[in-house]
Amino acid sequence: MTIHPTWRATTLCLLLLTGFVIPSSAQQSGVESKPAVPDNVAPHSAPTQPLPFSHKQHATLGLQCQACHTNPDPGVLMTFPATAKCVSCHIAAATDTPAIVSLHAYSESKAAIPWVRVYAVTKGVTWNHRAHLESGVQCATCHGDISQADAVSETKATLAMASCIGCHEAQAANTACITCHAWPTDQLLGLE
């Protein structure tokens, strides 16, 4: 008995529809069928920042994210830019608006601009930006399209354990508790 080609094609279509077979083109294109980090369903409003810095306004200048957010050793933090970085443009751009007058005051006082944190992982959880950047995860996957934001708010459910583990499973990264938690060992040894 031979299997009719039309029947074989129909079966393949059914398998594709039901998700049993993943077309190799979809695997290779790197397009995710669903976002690895879900959006936050509840609204999270942006905190009031010391200066009304807008990523959207600055994105039109063609700056790379890492022009302002560097990832120094050991790679945990993306850091905020030095005030001198801002001043390098604002000695010429929009020099006399209240916000830029305030920027120059921070610069002259040598005090760091006290940016209010938006994303902060629960204390004690092991986190590292560099491991993620090196494996090719994009900023937007975890933070949304910041280049379109006038004010950064927590639009993505990045800080939830289910989001971490969901992506680790999808990308075959480590999901053992010890990957992200030092306990119970540290607690048992009295280190915490």
Burial 157-177 (b: 16+ CB within 10 A, else e): bbbeeebbebbbeeeeeeeee
CB of 77 vs ligand HEC, minimal distance in Å: 4
- Please identify, among the stretches 14-22, 23-31, 58-66, 184-192, the one whose residues bind ligand HEC according to the rule CB under 6 A: 58-66
Q: How far is CA 7 from CA 14, 19, 89, 136, in A?
A: 10, 18, 66, 40
155 lies in the binding site for ligand HEC (CB under 6 A): no
* Rounded-to-integer distance, Cα 18 and Cα 20, Å: 6
82 lies in the binding site for ligand HEC (CB under 6 A): no
- Please identify, among the stretches 6-14, 20-28, 92-100, 184-192, the one whose residues bind ligand HEC according to the rule CB under 6 A: 92-100
Is the distance from CB of 80 to CB of 53 less than 8 angstroms?
A: no
CB of 27 vs ligand HEC, minimal distance in Å: 15
Instruction: State the number of binding residues for ligand HEC (CB under 6 A).
Output: 74
67 lies in the binding site for ligand HEC (CB under 6 A): yes
- Please identify, among the stretches 3-11, 12-20, 22-30, 133-141, the one whose residues bind ligand HEC according to the rule CB under 6 A: 133-141
Instruction: Please enumerate, as own/partner, the contacts of 154-158 that have beta carbons within 8 Å and a separation of 24 or more.
Output: 154/40, 154/44, 154/118, 154/119, 155/39, 155/40, 155/44, 156/37, 156/38, 156/39, 156/40, 157/37, 157/38, 157/39, 157/40, 157/41, 158/37, 158/119
Site for ligand HEC in 23-52 (CB under 6 A): 36-37, 49, 51-52
70 lies in the binding site for ligand HEC (CB under 6 A): no
CB of 48 vs ligand HEC, minimal distance in Å: 11
Would you say 18 or 135 has its CB closer to ligand HEC?
135
Among 95, 148, 175, 185, binds ligand HEC (CB under 6 A): 175
CB of 104 vs ligand HEC, minimal distance in Å: 11
Is the distance from CB of 115 to CB of 103 less than 8 angstroms?
A: no
